[in-house]
Amino acid sequence: MVFWQGFKWDDLNFGTFGFGRPQSGSGVQLSVVYLIWFIVILILYPLCKWYAKYKSEHRDNKLLRYL
Summarised one tens digit per residue, pLDDT across range 7-41 is: 888 888 788 877 777 777 777 889 999 999 999 99
Other C-beta atoms within 10 Å of 7: how many?
Answer: 15
Helix (H, G, I), strand (E, B) or coil at 27: coil
How many structural domains does the chain have? Answer: 1
Residue 64: pLDDT above 80? Answer: yes
pLDDT at 39: 97
pLDDT at 65: 80
Residue 56's domain comprises: 9-66
pLDDT at 31: 95
Inside any domain, residue 37: yes
Structural contact between residues 27 and 33, judged by C-beta atoms closer than 8 angstroms: no
Inside any domain, residue 40: yes
Q: How far apart are CA 34 and CA 14, in angstroms?
A: 27
Inside any domain, residue 1: no
Inside any domain, residue 45: yes
Read off the pLDDT of residues 39-58 as tens digits, 9 standing for 90 and up.
Answer: 999 999 999 999 999 999 99
